[in-house]
Structure formats: structure tokens, C-alpha cells
Chain A
Amino acid sequence: MPPRMRSSKFASLPRPAPSQSSRTRPQTITHNAPSSRQFSQTTSQQVTLRRRKFYEWLNGPGKQLKEPLPSSTNYLGAYDKYGNLVRAGPGYQRGAAKPQERGETKLTETTNEAAASTEETKPPEGQESLEALEDAARQEQAEKKDEAQDDSVLPPETQEDLRPFPLNQYFRSQPVLSEDLREAIYQRVKRDGATVSLASVEFGVSNERVGAVVRLKQMEKEWIAQGKTLAMPYSKAMLEMLPTTPYIDTSDPANRGKRPIVHEPINDLIVHPATRQQLWVPVAESRQFTREDAGKAFDNSLLAADERIPHPELVKAERELASGLSFDERRKLAEERFAVETAQKKKEEEAKQAEIRAQKVVPQRRWDFVFKDISVESAGRNGRDARGVGWRYGLPHQDRKKGQVKIPTKVEA
């Protein structure tokens, strides 16, 4: 079991009694006498020490993991080695939690603690802290759950409680989008016509995830239109077991003053391979050596971080704010940027359409023949370039050779 310390305040918790474990031991273990069939190859069916320990653990500490905790995650990392839930107060008893009447939400001690701990482990300047984001999501959930001050209610999970693999402290179960949040993202993009990057900034969800949510939600709606059966019991059970990021509807007057919860950092800068090496560049101390210069020092074509993050427009907007421009001026600039961007996108789309129109298509019974312009030169110097077309004289195919994989490498969407 993980080396989680068992604090003295949980000493009053009931430990699994040995008598109980022997009572609930499954029937599959039978106390056979040693077999008389010495020649038999089947493994011994008698209770070995290892098997006894296995069932002792399953019926003792492991018993808590058999069923999910209601409206909470239930990972191995949340328990100490005796099977006690570490974060539970002394008055907590599993399955005894009753639905409380709705009261005023208030910050509890645990949230203050969490805030303090993030203060200590603040990330270096210029970086976002993942822990702070996830703590925010959990606190919101905890507030939703209407916890009273008494101990019979589970406090929200800490970082350690979200570890399915207690020994690996660099992995934890991160929240997923709740059903409401997915619907809100879909509506914002499909109904309101917001761009993906705008929705990404608004909901604090990365660009790719916004696209994926819309695509999946669209498919779900199509299933409903076709009358297909959805896997709803499965979905409900899974979202109950997983940590989720709730949706805060800011248009709702009940949520006045609240801000939407950021699901994940949206400005992830990919570590460029050229920056993996250490570099010593002597620079005059009087020189203004900026991020752009640093990028050039690593690789001539490497842009500064401001350009390479997924939302460079946020940096530009922030810079305009810092330079003291008025709201109208900033809005004008933002609109100009948006116009340029849409024009660029339109141009690209038109170019793509023109390319498709330029192709000659001859429809046949099963397949259509498509004629494209190709160049002989594209086969390259040794004739093996992937862009080369057709069979080239004197160049045998590789596909019957040993070790050539025929699994497709991509599927067109």
C-alpha cells in the first residue's frame, strides 16, 4: 500500500475485523487435503499463504474500493494502508451521508488550506499553475454539495486523493468536462456562432477540446434524431466516478460575481526540440536580450513564445490594455484583427475549393476516377519519395518485404 501516513485522529475509525474477513471469504477457496494424484499437472487448489493474503486484503482494506463512493472519486491513493479514507472526518461513515437541506455555501477550512498550499508552490513567473486550476474546480464542486460543518460529510478531494497509482506522484486523475459544460460549449459554438478560439478562452478549454466536444455533441444529437439508444446509465455512472469541471452559467443571476471555472491551461507552449539543448550565448550586459533573440539563438526559424502559443491574440489584447488604450480603440483593433483572420481563412477555403474544382472526376459504377496534376519530379532523387506516383521502372515495391506494416496510418474524417 502507498506510504500514506495514518494520522492519529482517525484512530477511532473501525478497522476491518479479522473475523469479518474470514466470514466473507469467497467460496472458491476450499480447504482440500493434499491431492493423492502426485502426477497431476494442475496447480494446487489448497489455500496458500499468498492466496490467503490476497483475500484478506480484498476483504479488508480493498473492500472500500469495490463499490464507488457516492458522488466522489474512489481511488487507491485516497486510502491509507488499513483501508481508511484519509480525508474523512472522524464522524464520517460510508453510506450514512444523508442529503442535507440547502444552505448558504461557505468556504471551509480545507479550501483555505488548499489556497495556502498553492501559494507556497507557486510556479515560476510566466507559467500557469495546473494545481491551482484543478483546485478551483474541486472547490466549486464541494460548495455545490452543500457541505455543512459537521464531519459526516466528505470534504473535497486533495491532490493525493486523486491518485489512482499512489506510488506515481506525477500522475493524477484530472477532471473531465461535465455534461452541462459540454452542452454549453456546443450551444455557444453552434447556436451563437462563436469561433473555436473564442469559446476556448471563454470556457477555459483548449482549442482541440472545443472542436472535439462540438463534434461529439453533434453526433449525439444525430443519434437522438435517429432514435438510437444512448448509453445513459453508463454515462451517468462514469461521470459520477470521475472528477468533473462544473459549468457556471454566468448569465444566471444566481451566479452573479462568479467566473467560469478554467478547465485546463489553454496557452500550452510546446517544448521545441531545438530548445532541448543547453546553449551558452555571450551577450553584452547592456543589450536588451528578449525572448525573440533567445529563440533566434536556438534556431533561426524559431519564433518567440508569444507567437507560438495557441492564443497569441490574448497577448496582443493584454499588451494593448497595458499600453493604456481606451476601450473603443482596443475594440477597434480587435475587430481589425478578427477581420484579417476571417479574410485569411476565407482565402484558404476558396483555394481549397478551387483545387477540388480543378480536378476532373469521372463517375463510375462503384468508384469515381479522379484526375489530378502530378509531377514526375516529385518522386525525388532516389525515386522513393512518398509524393511519387505510380510504379517506377526498375524499382521494386517494398510492400511484400518482411516487416512492412499494412495497417493504415490515417483514416479520413
Chain B
Amino acid sequence: MRKKPRFHSLKKLKVRQDMSRWTLYSLSQLRQPNTTARTFFQQKWTAKADTRAYHGEQIREKKWARLFKRSIPAVVPMDHKYLARHDGSEQAAGRGAGADSQDKQRTPPMTPYMQMAYYPIERRLDTAIFRALFASSVRQARQFCVHGLVKVNGKKMPYPGYMLNPGDMFQVDPSSVMFATGAQKARSSTARRVAKEKAAARAEAREAQGGQTPRQPKPEVIVPSKGEEPTPAELKKHLQAMMDDVDGVLAEDVGAKDKQKFRAFRQTVKRAIGLWRSASPESISTLDTQFDFLKTQLAGRTSTPAARTPDAVEEPLFSEEDQAKLRQAFEKLKLETEHTSAWNNRNAAAPYATPWRPRDYMSAFAFIPRYLEVNQNICAAVYLRHPVARPGLAEVPTPFPIETGQLAFNWYLRRR
């Protein structure tokens, strides 16, 4: 059997969709196509071969040929002020309309349609993940999909060939993204020792459990109580628990290793909110909304009638200072999460070099095309629209000159 050619060959330089040094070298060695000494067919063939090595080389040629479309989307940015002040007839006005001298016509920059020949490939999920800088190559992005690390609109999407629709949100597991884009871990004796120790600890735990894997703690579910409104006694009990936890949180250091207090507070808040039926998961999803919800629900409420003495004034269950304290606790929660997230220190268990830094040569490949909107904090992105050509700009990132793009487009045009 014929040996498979090298993916990155120095003999035949190919630009690939990845962030490697070989690709960078090939990019630097790219030249304009030779159009003088070769036949048109030869030129088209070479252009096709070069561009296909970059655009969707993981897709079979037959599949790509079916994807190819000769009509390419384009837009023209319009000036609303001009549209408001002219109705378009001024462009047709000639000598008869009183136009005596011909003004110098300003021609728009050329719209590079044929640089967009491979725009259907940009719709693929694996390519979009690579373009959003969540993976270091399209092949890796593909692997992320297949391994179930990618979600589209919150649902697992194991097909790298899924064609994104405008408005689709895709997200990749952040630890995988940091592994893909981070510098590689150098093998060290410490890391190996840590891994061995961890494995030993796990084995020991299994032994202690009697050969069973340790049971994972189940995530707690908010169980809304039956009634529309909670009973005052219930309310008071939950409020007390919450305020106890507030003190715990306020006493806790943000950088503490043990996050138990923070976790407990999150749980009690959830449980307290779960008393109301009107609390839907959407209405209490963020810390701000949780706080507002609690404030509005508790502020006007008085303590239980049974506990009230006749001479005492009706005091609200949720006093001003309690509110201020709760606000502080929420602020601290937020701070704690951000601190944990930003905390970038040595960690032998991480699959990338720690402290995290971008991989070598990444900056040369770091760009995000306009048809994606990326939020790097949660490693999620939205596919806004299909890539378009506009005057002087083609949104499909392709390393080849316009001549090569035209030749490649013409190659596929022939078969339609």
C-alpha cells in the first residue's frame, strides 16, 4: 500500500488549518501562482490542490463538491444619511437634467467574491470552533465534537459536520479549550509523582468502599413547594439558615482553598428561593436577579403572627441591615468566583503547562472573523450569519492570493 503523505511536509509545503510552526513557515513561503508558463488547466489544478489542503482537508472531495455553491453572499454597507437625502434619481441624471459637467466618479473597491469560494465550509461546526480560537486546528476541533465536548444551543452535538444556522450558540468545555490553546506541558518528575499519588489515593478509596467506585454527590434540585406562597414559619426558618450562612461567607477569605462556606450559601439561597412557586429558573439565574427576587419577596413581609407580641411594632422579617449584609455576601460570592477563575498558578493536575499561557506561535493565528461573536470567559460563541463578501473585504479567512482563489473557484465552476 502507498504510504500516506506527511501532513506537514517540508518537501511539498501546504498551508493547513492549524496554529503550528509548519503552517507558519508554509505561510511565509507562499508565492503568487505562476500564470505565465503553465496551461490554464495546470493553474486551476494547482490552485485547487493548494486551497483544498487548507479548506476542509478533512472532508472528502465528493462531499465538498456537493457543498460548493456558485452564488456567493455579499453585502453593501449603506449610509442612512445619504439614503434619506437622495432618492436615487440623481445617479441617472444626465445632461437633460441639467448636469453639465461630469464629476469624477468614485468607484467602489472591488468585492472579492471569488475569495469566498469555500464559504460553505465555514458553516461547519468543526471549522467554526477553530475560527473562534477554541481549538488549535480543525482536526482537533473535530475531535472535540466527536468526544462530546461541544454543545450547540445547550445540547451535545457529536457531529463535526453539523451545519451551523445563523443564531446557533456553540460552546466547548473550557478546560479542553485551555488545553488546546495553552502551551504544552513539559513532562516533569513532579507531575508523574502527583499522578501516581492520585491514582493510589483513588485505588485506596475504592478499596475502602469495598470495590465500588465512590458515589458522586448528587446535585441538589430545587423542589418548589406546593403552595403559591410559603408559610411564615417556613420562611422564617429558611431566612435564619440563610443569614447564618451569610455570616459564614463574610468571614471566609476569598482566596481560601476550602469553598465549603460559599457552596453552602449558594445552596441555602437556592432552597430559600425554591419556596416560591413564582420563581422560575430563568427569573433567578444570575446573582443580581436572585438578590432582587429575595428583596422584593421578603421586604414587605412581617414576622409570624404567633411570635408577635401585641405591644411590639410590626417589624419586617427582612430588615435593612440584613439586606445590606446579604448584598455584601452576594458581592463576595461573585468575587470568589472571579478569583477562582483568574487564579492561574502551578497545577500539576492540569493537562497544560501551568501557569497557563498561550501556545507558541498562537498570536500569528489569533483572529476572529466577524460572522462569529465569541465570549472567551465561558468558551462559547454565536454564529451570527453566513460569511459575506463586502467591498474590499472577504470574510472567509484564506491565506491565498486572489488569483489562486479565482482559479480554485473556476475549477469547481467547471463541474456545475
- Whether A224 and B334, one on each chain, are in contact in the complex, defined by CB atoms closer than 8 angstroms, is yes
In the complex, chain A residues whose CB is within 8 Å of the CB of B109 = 121, 123
Q: How many Å lie between the Cα of A236 and that of B338 in the bound state?
A: 13
Q: How far is the CA of A186 from the CA of B32 in the complex (A)?
A: 45
Q: Which residue of A50, A123, A228 is within 8 Å of B10 (Cβ)?
A: A50
Verify if A322 is at the interface (C-beta below 8 Å from B): yes
Answer whether residue A97 sits at the interface, using C-beta atoms and an 8 A cutoff: no
- In the complex, which range does the number of interface residues on chain B fall in? 35 or more
- How near does chain A come to B120, taking the closest CB pair, in angstroms? 14
Q: How far is the CB of B258 from chain A (nearest CB, A)?
A: 14
| Closest residue of A by beta carbon distance from B30 | A167
- A76 in contact with B27 (CB, 8 Å): yes
- The reply to whether the CB of A239 lies closer than 8 angstroms to some CB of chain B is yes
Chain A residues lying within 8 Å of B78, measured Cβ to Cβ, are 126-128, 267-269, 305, 309
Whether A302 is near chain B, meaning CB under 8 Å from some CB there, is no
Picked from A76, A126, A226, A309, the residue with its CB within 8 Å of the CB of B24 is A76
B167, CB-defined interface residue at 8 Å? yes
Report whether A225 and B71 are in contact in the complex, using a CB–CB cutoff of 8 Å: no
Residue in contact with B82 in the complex, picked from A125, A170, A270, CB distance below 8 Å = A125
Q: Tell which of B135-143, B152-160, B320-328 binds the partner.
A: B152-160
The minimal Cβ–Cβ distance linking B356 to chain A, given in whole angstroms, is 4
In-complex Cβ contact of B286 among A131, A222, A268, A317 (8 A): A222
Of the residues B76, B263, B288, B375, contact of A227 by C-beta under 8 Å? B263
A315-B84 in contact given A130-B77, A413-B167 (Cβ < 8 Å): yes
Binding-face segment, A31-39, A98-106, A138-146, A207-215: A207-215
Provide the B79-94 mask, 1 if CB < 8 A to any CB of A, else 0. Answer: 1111111111100101
Known A126-B82, A219-B375, A242-B368; judge A67-B363 contact (CB<8 A): yes
Question: What does the 1/0 interface line of B126-169 toward A look like (CB < 8 Å)?
Answer: 00000001000000000000000000111101010111011111
Are B377 and A265 in contact (CB-based, < 8 A)?
no
In the complex, whether A257 has a CB less than 8 A from a CB of chain B is no
Contact B108 A218 (CB under 8 A): no
Please state if A309 and B376 are interface contacts (CB–CB under 8 Å).
Answer: no
Contact B73 A318 (CB under 8 A): no
> Once the chains bind, are B367 and A224 in contact (CB under 8 Å)?
no
**Contact A271 to B76, CB < 8 A, known contacts A126-B86, A233-B342:** yes
Query: Most chain-A CB neighbours within 10 Å: which of B32, B360, B370?
Result: B370
Considering the complex of A and B, which 5 residue pairs feature the smallest CB-CB distances, nearest first?
Answer: A291-B88, A318-B84, A173-B367, A265-B77, A235-B376
Seen from chain A, the residues whose Cβ lies within 8 Å of a Cβ on chain B are 1-2, 41, 48, 50-51, 54, 57-58, 61-62, 65-69, 73-76, 81, 121-131, 164-174, 176-177, 182, 206, 208-209, 211-213, 215-239, 241-242, 264-265, 267-271, 273, 276, 283, 285-286, 288-292, 294, 304-306, 309, 311, 314-319, 321-322, 405, 407-413
Q: Which residues of B contact A (CB under 8 A)?
A: 3, 10-11, 21-22, 24-25, 27-32, 71, 73-89, 92, 94, 96-97, 105-109, 112, 115, 133, 152-155, 157, 159, 161-163, 165-169, 174, 177-178, 181-182, 259, 262-263, 266, 285-288, 290, 333-334, 336-338, 340-342, 344, 355-358, 360-370, 373-382, 384-385, 388, 390-402
Having A168-B399, A224-B287, A319-B85, one finds 17 other A-B pairs with CB under 8 Å, namely: A2-B28, A62-B21, A62-B24, A68-B363, A173-B366, A220-B377, A222-B285, A224-B286, A224-B338, A227-B337, A233-B344, A271-B73, A288-B87, A314-B84, A315-B83, A318-B85, A408-B159
